[in-house]
Structure 1
Amino acid sequence: MGKEIPDNMGKEFILGFMEALDISGKHSNIDLKLFITTSSQASVSVSISAPLAGNLYSGKTITVTKGVIKQVTLPETLRLQGTERSNKAVQIVSSEEIVVFGINQAHRSTDGFLGIPVDVLGMQYFVPSFFSNEHPFYKSAVVITGTQDGTELSIRIKTTNNGRVDFDNKMYGNGNWLNTTIDRFETIQLLCQGDLTGTFVQSSQRVSVFGGSTVTNIGFGTSRDHIEEQIPPLNVWGKRFSVYPVPGTNPNLIRVLASEDNTVVSVNNQVNQTLQHGEFYETHSNAFSFITASKPVLTVQYIPSATSSHGVGDPAMTLVPPIEQSNVLYTFLTPKSSENKSFENTFMFMLQGSDYRGLTLDRNRLHDNDFCSVVQRNNVTSGYIRIPSGSHTIEYSSGLVPFVGILYGGANQESYAFPVGQRLTPINQECTPSQMTVGDGLDNDCDGRADEEVCHDFVDNDGDGKNDEDCITELSTTRQTTESTTTPKPTTPKPTTTTKPTTTTPKPITTTSKPATTTPKPTTTTTKPTTTTPTPTTTTTSRPATTLYKLTTTIQKPTTTSKPASSSTTTQKPTTTTPKTTKTVTKPSTTSIPNPKTTTTTTKPTTLGSQSTTIKDLNPKTTPTDKIDFDQIRPQWLTLAEFGVIGGVAVVLLGALGMCCKRCWGLIKNRDDDDDEEDEELRRRRRNKARLALGAPSIRPMYQ
């Protein structure tokens, strides 16, 4: 196997499950769930444990295989309660890369999150949350889980409704800094009767961060639900998003959270607002929207409470992956409701271009009537597909078109929503152009996108005036035929005899892009062209380093809180060894920010080098019904050259045949001449013999 690309697949996950309340405000007593699968061809061993809470969960080891999702049940005692520090982190370690989804339920309340592996976690986060003041037991929540011992945390609280966070017997209000430390497998949960959206978390080592609400209603409806998501770090945020509201629900609430000052947010090409760091733009949407930002942002979609006119569904929260972080294959499982009933499941897709008919479900081609409410804006197509309950794989048939996928399930006053996967390439940090390896998942040309080209297709896929500078795959080396959802153009077959070829020459494929200057020289054999990728130019057009922000407000220095001396559980910390991963993703750069803590150090970012990575299991496994032969994309001069070579060989053969014929004709003529002379000699002798016989009787009497 090649090196892994940075995405939601990984070999180690350290997760925390935030507090979930039922509709009456009681703590949930429903067990937690994990859904685990893999894209590896081999069987994968997975170990699940709670290293510092062995008295609550003894652990389990399972085996997962490609395309099959295993469900693992965890005790509800691992769920956090109140604002606390605890040892309830869950560790998942595997022999090969896996995908993990977490499900957190209460009575008539369900939500889930996409797990983010340790190797792509970060050290800077802005956290989205939600709060409604309809009931006193509604609270917004932030959960932080440690991955290394002695990790320093600096948390700048941001809250509304005059909310305050009570942690370690100290109160923290809006704008206050909470400074503490966290160890490996420790968890910290912060609850607040106010919206914690925009709270900033900075750490000295990588941490997992989750945001949401213990229970809430959203919008004008009265139904309520627990909501949560695991939050990606700042260095993987994007600038382009397509948002598709969940069909059959009230207008969805969309929030765009800024990471930097003077971030301009536009919706459907109209400038709507300029944001500062930690601020968010909020709007309601009942139709497909295209959102762009001048600087990296996080987009969150909230599904509102059910009402009398829209009785299906319940509050849910999902992140909207940026288009820049799209992938080409997703495997997932639809959960059951808290009452063990099936949801009505909807898969919403967003992809660049208009060729959405290449999407396949469980390796079966979808029909036109399977796609619902398909719309297009800004060269982005979006729609949805109804999905039956169970385990599924959705991919693009050719493996060449990345797309975004969000899964939603609705039932009677209960729902869930989460992204089914995404790339997690560090596109929002200082970048140096690097040599491209096909499908490495990296931003080789520093344009804020990863693997946006298809090598050797003679098209400038990202419209930057360059060809094949950052490829997801190679058209000529990945497969000889590419699926097409349109009727393919007729191709001219190669002549296989010495007869004169037909006068109809194949029409060359014309593109508006400049041809690549490193196009490999074709040969007349049927071997594949060289897979050597072009070396990037030496021009150092690196993107400027991202400066997060600079706080100018003077804040009183809060006393640094340390961990309590005594704990309710005296569990000794085991020494756990986790397998090394082969990913070569650099540690995200940390930006120095003004903080009352003077001991905060800034780590120096390392340069992300090139990786010889191949796309993992992204090739289609189906036999396409409509194929485009490789002859359709060959250049005209190559075909003409083949015809010229064949014509030359034919002329040589005809010349040789003529020489042979001339030689044979000479031999035949000489033989005929010899035969004529022999016949003439034979006739002469016969004539002489006849004359002698006739003259003998006249002479004989003279000698008697």
Structure 2
Amino acid sequence: MTKNTFTPIHFIHKSLKYKFLLIILYLCCIVSTTTILPAQIAKTVKKTSEGTEFWVCFQENSWHHALERVGKMKLTDQRGQEMYVEDRSISNFELFLSSDTTTRVRIEIVGLRYKLDTLVIGGSVRRLKIPSSAEVTGDGTLQPNAVRITSDSPISVTCLNERGSSTDSYLALPSKALGLEYYTISYHSTPTNDLVPHMAIVATKDSTIVKITPSFITSRNRPAGVPFTVIMNKGDVYQIAASNMQGYTKTERGTDSIINPDISGTRVQATKPVAVFSGHQCADIPMRVPFCNYLVEQVPPVNSWGMHFILGKFAKRSSYAYRVIAATNNTKIFENSVLVKELQAGQMYENSSAGPRNIMLTASSPVLVAQFSHGYLGGVSRTDGKSTYIRGDSIGDPMMLVVSPTQQFLREYRFATPKTSFTNWRHFINIVIPSSAIGSLRLNGRVLDTVRNYPEFVGLSSYVCIQADIPFGVHTVKADVPFGLYSYGFATNDAYGNMIGQGFDEIEEIRDSLPPTFERRNLDKKINLVIRDDKSTDKGLQSIRIISAVGLAAMYGNNYIDQPSINPGTPQYTMFVRPLNGFVKGKMEIEAKDLAGNISTYTLDYDGTNFLGALEEKPVPDLSKITETWLWGSYVIASSQYHTLNNVQTIGSTSVTGQFEAESGSPLGLGFRFNKYVGSSFSVSLKAEYLPCSIVLRGRDSLLKRVYDSVTNQYLNYQEAFVLQPTLPMISFSAGLEYQLNQLLYTFVDIQSSIILSKSAESYRQIESPLSYAYAQSGTRELPISNTGLDQVKMLLLSANAGIGIQKKIHPHLVLFGETSFNYTLHSLLQNGYGEWNYSSLRFSLGFKTSF
């Protein structure tokens, strides 16, 4: 018989194996911090419309496919006077490039083998012509006509598409702002008109699979609502045009309803980022109102849409149209706080004649909004100072611009007017800015003249809209706060328009943490209360409730009300409060709650002469970054435990001539936790856990003997072992730090102290070989022995724990979380002189946390 011993090399390998696992996991936590943190920073740094790579295209403008209709034509002014002759047979495509710093720019069109290297001087706008052969003609086929623009430093790009007096422009979106899902927005056509709405898709990567679901039958007879797939390579353009035939749909009453050709609401889904463009070859707006004009915009991806928009009326125009597209079901649309429509995914709402007013649009879910100017004869007819009758506005043509959500406004813009003053062009800008920041506005470095350019409030919102007449050239507009900027222009028979820039943050990540506000306006013998939930991150009001009223009455308009009635999602509500008797004291308490669960309570006191108000706010705590509130929670623990023993020959009262080995287990446990944030990202954590130490200890006899096996008719080695099965239940207490990587992920480190509650173990002898042998006393291979106590095991253990967690808020007051961590005991479980027993575990936790 030989003594079975572990070699030092084998022990070192087994011991370092688990220490190495601890180091690896800890490094993973550090790597997670260094790799995830930039993504978090990227969410706080604005993605803007500037970039170093752009993919654009130039679609068909006017009667490209019917050249016999195109040629020189005379244009007249509103009094019938001939002005000039234009040639519609020639396309004019231009790029307007600007940058803060001087940078090199490269332009490439693969299909035309066209390349151009040029410089853009910092602080200026460079105007470049693109070959007319770059026009994307026809539809339903792949064409390598995409224009790729790259630069060494960030630039902004505006594109102009012109054929005679059919013109429009659009803001190009950089590659970093592109997405995987889009809905198009355009305008409808008169049936049988050869000029139809169209769209285009540009691939930025090879082997891009694009699924297109048309909203209207296409000119290639692709049916509405039936998706089809196109495989595109880098630089390909795929253009789709609507059929010029009427469509039909069923109304809620089951009757047929005519649908005019329109691709608005067409859904585009791609496996890799694509650029999407939408517009019309030449649209009448409103339909059948002369004259038509080319429309185009590059469409933002769904993840950059917003819920809060300001539409400013156009200079020199008496009305305009706008359209709204929804991406999710049950999206409510509010116009100046009035519910006008509830949309399903892909559906559209249109106001074809919004009148000469500024409008605040809000939605319960992210939407896409486009604004359109009316045609030359659109608007209100009038008589001028010479008693000449003028039909409509008699200026400009239709144009289309995408409206930026207020959440995506910027603080600074640079742009150039994309047309010269030829053919009496007039250029304008619309500025949308909070009224409190008007004084910080600078146009070309100078304070904006608000006497000449008078700010007009937009409904009950805190925004104003300012129109400014600007000359041809390069302009800059700056302010101390984010604001919106739109550039447009009108000639007698032409128009263009586009937003100047915006951010492209993912709106859905922005949280509504602000309670509704109350504004009081003192009137004669009553007050006007305006209840708001209309900031850029607000979701709108859910309810308004009069908690109590003594001596005061509430009114809506001229009618007394018991309780206010609102549509959930309404951004503002206005009401009046007056005393029932002018000289009697009174009191009213009003509660306003928004859709995010934030609550404000306003107490109004009337002393017989004056009104006094007091506001109490109750915001819903953000459980991912709470700085004022303790959190508590509970969780279950699943663990995989690892035990290594070295030179352990005696445990309890059991000794073996060889040494004990360990077989690890995977027990379940339960924990409770408490957290308190000590900064914007760090929190202190306290935990209490119950987790048994699961193990089987096996000590083999080193003495072997030979026995006869009647089954195999051979002499075999005979060996026995002592087996101990302790449960070692432990209660652990830990303290540590958590670091919030972003709204979803966090990492943590704990120091843990554990108390072993019981050190008893079941013990028995076991025949290890041959397997056919059994004890005569038990009839099995196992012979129970009385329980033993593991006196050599320490009662108090100290360990370190490190890991990473993920959390998701499912309710304003409830967060679910999951964690994975590695726990390593910093010392042997055995007292000195009895060998080494090293213990570690890989843990997985799942639970909840909430606030007190």
TM-score (norm: length of structure 1): 0.59
Stretch deviating more after TM superposition (25-34 or 237-246):
25-34
Q: 2:454 is matched with which residue? A: 372
Whole-angstrom CA distance in 2 between matches of 1:115 and 1:447: 33
1:356 deviates by 1.6
Q: Which amino acid in 2 is paired with 1:386? A: D
Deviations 1:204-258 (A, max 9, x none): 0000000000112112531111000000000000000011121222421111110
- Give the match for residue 29 of structure 1: 90
Q: Could you tell me how far 1:114 is from its partner in structure 2?
A: 0.2
Instruction: Report the Cα distance in structure 1 between the residues aligned to 2:394 and 2:137, rounded to whole angstroms.
Output: 31
- The secondary structure found in structure 2 opposite 1:285 is coil
Q: Which runs of 5+ in 1 are unaligned?
A: 432-442, 449-459, 466-510, 520-531, 545-704
Call closer, same or farther: CA 1:368–1:180 in 2, change over 3 Å. Answer: closer
Measure, in 2, the Cα distance between the counterparts of 1:281 and 1:463: 21
Give the alignment of 1:579-590 within 5 angstroms. Answer: none
Aligned partner (choices 426, 429, 434) of residue 352 of structure 1 = 434
Partner Cα separation in structure 1 for residue 224 and residue 191 of structure 2:
21
Counterparts of 1:119 and 1:238, CA distance in 2: 18
Question: Who is 1:20 aligned against?
Answer: 61
Q: Residue 267 of structure 2 aligns with which residue? A: 200
Alignment partners' CA distance in 2, 1:518 and 1:279: 42
CA distances 1:639-663 after superposition (whole Å, capped 9, x unpaired): xxxxxxxxxxxxxxxxxxxxxxxxx
- The reply on whether 1:182 has 2:232 as its aligned counterpart is yes
Q: Equivalents in 1 of 2:740, 2:328: separation in Å?
A: 25
SS in 1 for 2:176: helix
CA deviation string 1:536-583 (max 9, x = no partner)? 778999999xxxxxxxxxxxxxxxxxxxxxxxxxxxxxxxxxxxxxxx
d(CA) in 2 for partners of 1:540 and 1:181? 41
Shift of 1:369: 2.3
User: What is the rounded CA distance, in whole Å, between the counterparts of 1:388 and 1:91 in structure 2?
Assistant: 30
Distance 1:310 1:533, change over 3 A: farther
Kept in 2, the 8 Å contact 1:343–1:411? The answer is yes
TM-fit CA distance, 1:177: 1.2
**CA, structure 1 residues 282+408, in 2 after alignment: closer, same or farther (shift >3 Å)?**
same
> Does the 8 Å CA contact 2:278/2:299 hold for their aligned counterparts?
yes
Q: Deviations over 1:110-154 (max 9, x none)?
A: 100000001110000000011221662111111000000000010
Counterpart in the other structure of 1:535: 681
**Residues 406 and 536 of structure 2 are in contact (CA less than 8 Å); yes or no, is this contact kept in structure 1?**
no
Q: Distance in 1 between matches of 2:94 and 2:50?
A: 18
Aligned to 1:64: 120
What is the CA-CA distance between 1:104 and the residue it aligns to?
0.2
Alignment of 1:24-423 (within 5 A): 26=70, 28-39=89-100, 42-54=101-113, 57=114, 59-83=115-139, 84-133=141-190, 136-159=193-216, 163-166=217-220, 171-192=221-242, 193=244, 194-219=261-286, 220-283=288-351, 284-286=353-355, 287-307=357-377, 308-336=391-419, 340-341=422-423, 343-372=425-454, 374-377=456-459, 378-396=461-479, 399=480, 401-423=481-503
Check conservation: 2:398, 2:495, Cα contact below 8 A: yes
**Structure with more of its chain in helix, by fraction:** 1
Could you tell me how far 1:385 is from its partner in structure 2? Answer: 1.0
> What's the CA shift string for 1:257-293, capped at 9, x where partnerless?
1010000111111111110000011112121111100
- Return the alpha-carbon distance in structure 1 between the equivalents of residues 125 and 617 of structure 2: 43
Which segment drifts farther, 417-426 or 533-542? Answer: 533-542
Change (3 A) 1:363 1:255: same
Residue correspondence of structure 1 range 655-674 to structure 2 within 5 A: none
Q: For 1:372, what is the secondary structure of its paired residue? A: coil
Q: Cα distance 1:247–1:269, how it changes in 2: closer, same or farther (>3 A)?
A: same
Kept after mapping to 1: 8 A contact 2:681/2:741: no
User: Which structure has the highest strand share of the two?
Assistant: 2
In the aligned structure 2, how far is the partner of 1:352 from the partner of 1:541? 32
Q: Which runs of 5+ in 2 are unaligned?
A: 1-40, 71-87, 245-260, 378-390, 515-532, 539-614, 619-624, 629-677, 684-737, 745-852
Q: Name the SS for the 1:293 alignment partner.
A: strand
Q: Deviations over 1:177-208 (max 9, x none)?
A: 12111100010000112100000000000000
Distance 1:108 1:152, change over 3 A: same
By relative contact order (CA 8 Å, sep 6+), the higher-ranking structure is: 1
Partner amino acid, structure 1, of 2:108: S
Q: TM-score, normalised by structure 2?
A: 0.49
2: CA distance between counterparts of 1:19 and 1:309? 28
- Asked whether the 8 Å contact 1:354–1:376 carries over to 2, the reply is no
From the superposition, tell whether residues 340 and 158 of structure 1 become closer, same or farther in structure 2 (CA, over 3 Å). Answer: same
CA distance in 2, matches of 1:463, 1:93: 33
Give the whole-Å Cα distance in 1 for the aligned partners of 2:175 and 2:102: 22
Q: Is the Cα contact below 8 Å between 1:124 and 1:233 reproduced in 2?
A: yes
Change (3 A) 1:317 1:209: same
Aligned to 2:696: none
Q: Measured at CA, do residues 533 and 324 of structure 1 come closer, stay the same or move farther in structure 2, by a change above 3 Å?
A: farther
**Residue identity matched to 1:165:** S
The structural deviation recorded for 1:427 is 1.7
